[in-house]
Amino acid sequence: MVRTGLEILLTCQQELLKHSRVGLVTHPPAVLPDLTNAVDALLSAGVHLAALFGPEHGFNAAAADGAAVEDAPDARTGLPVYSLYGPVKEPTPAMLAGVDTLVFDMQDVGARFYTFISTLFYTLRGAAAAGKRVVVLDRPNPLTGCITAGPTIEPGYVSFVGIAPLPIRHGLTIGELARYFNAEFDFHADLKVVPLEGWQRSMWFDQTGLPWVQLSPGMPHLSTAIVYPGTCFLEGTNLSEGRGTSLPFEIAGAPWLDGHRLALALNTLELPGVRFRAVSFVPTSSKHAGQVCRGVQLHVTDREAFEPIAAGLYLIAACREQAASEFQFLPSSWEGGKPHFDLLAGSAGPREGLAAGQPVDEIVRGWNEDREHLEMIRQKSLLY
């Protein structure tokens, strides 16, 4: 069984937090193998917790996608909980006044636009500015640490869903990301990563022996995380990505689509490792709430061969081809400014290519130009 940084800290490295007032950046998936959460585990070990910090979806992981979260005391422990998602995304000197060490323990999903890594970025930057130490408790990349894929971010397209020029599938653990941010952005934070034990880069999450805990309302299962690097692109369109259903990101559709035609068109492409099945669904929230949507469910048949980013673009291209007059790219995002699709992709190129009818395989080929340079930078951050 893989042992997480939290478990290693508690069994082997408790001296790291001795005589230290600790601020904990965490969420419900940060658990021990017996499902004890990080707050309870640290308190039971005698760690002096002084403050808690929560990411997008909040400290309790209950808030909706994109919803601002306010500061509030934790009802159970009475500790202050500072929100790092809303008007303030970086811990301020006032938040850190009673803290000596920030401990970061969060489970990432393995995709650049999942905002927990942006919270890590700002945690490191804020701690460095305030002269506070940061201890990152490492956890596995659920999608393995071997696969990198997708475009990077071009200048002018940095956002909270794309904080750094990494490929969409970055292939790094949260501890390796901390090392990358600290070095590449010259934060010079006093950083200590407590590494995993027993983890191999080829492991998917269900091969680690660790319990999967829902990461957010839109990330309930490992199967969700596997398709997410591609189907998240639907957020930048007027297609439903399945929010408001039990299968977010695993189903996609709209009231004006024919799911059977869509499944046939996509299966004809014989994309590796995936089949598409026609479905109908009614979202209870988000886009097309209360309306019957027709579309497809992605069934991954071989996750090693499956290319989720290309599959997501093929899905969008097929929807656009079937219903060109109804399909739209959204003009902006909840961050304002540029189209949300462009912020997810890291540039306007993929959206402009799809809108012009450019073949998806041509769009994908253009992503490989910077891969060698990015891989050299990535290698410097690896721990395993």
Burial zone of 66 (CB within 10 Å; 0-12 exposed, 13-18 middle, 19+ buried): middle
Residue 60, number of CB atoms within 10 A of its CB = 14
pLDDT at 368 over 80: no
Identify any residues that bridge with 81 across adjacent strands, giving them in sequence order: 52, 72
Q: Say what the pLDDT of residue 58 is.
A: 84
Residue 166 has, within 13 A of its CA and on its CB side, a CA count of: 30
* DSSP state letter for 347: S
Given a cut of 80, is residue 335 above it in pLDDT? Answer: no
Q: What percent of the chain has pLDDT over 90?
A: 89
Mean pLDDT throughout 89-107?
97
List pLDDT tens digits, range 48-59.
Answer: 999 999 999 888
Average pLDDT over residues 335-359: 95
Q: What is the mean pLDDT of residues 153-168?
A: 95
Q: What is d(CA 221, CA 207) in angstroms, rounded to the nearest whole number? A: 14
Q: Which residue has the tokens 């323990």?
A: 105
On whether the pTM is more than 0.85, the answer is: yes
Report CA torsion sign: 346, 350, 352, 355.
negative
DSSP alpha helix (H) spans, the chain: 5-12, 38-44, 116-130, 174-184, 222-231, 259-268, 308-322, 340-345, 349-355, 360-365, 371-379
Q: Please give the domain boundaries of the chain with CATH numbers for all domains.
A: 5-211 (3.40.50.12170), 222-367 (3.90.1150.140)
pLDDT score at 67? 81
Please answer whether residues 174 and 104 qualify as being in contact, where contact means their C-beta atoms are separated by less than 8 angstroms. yes
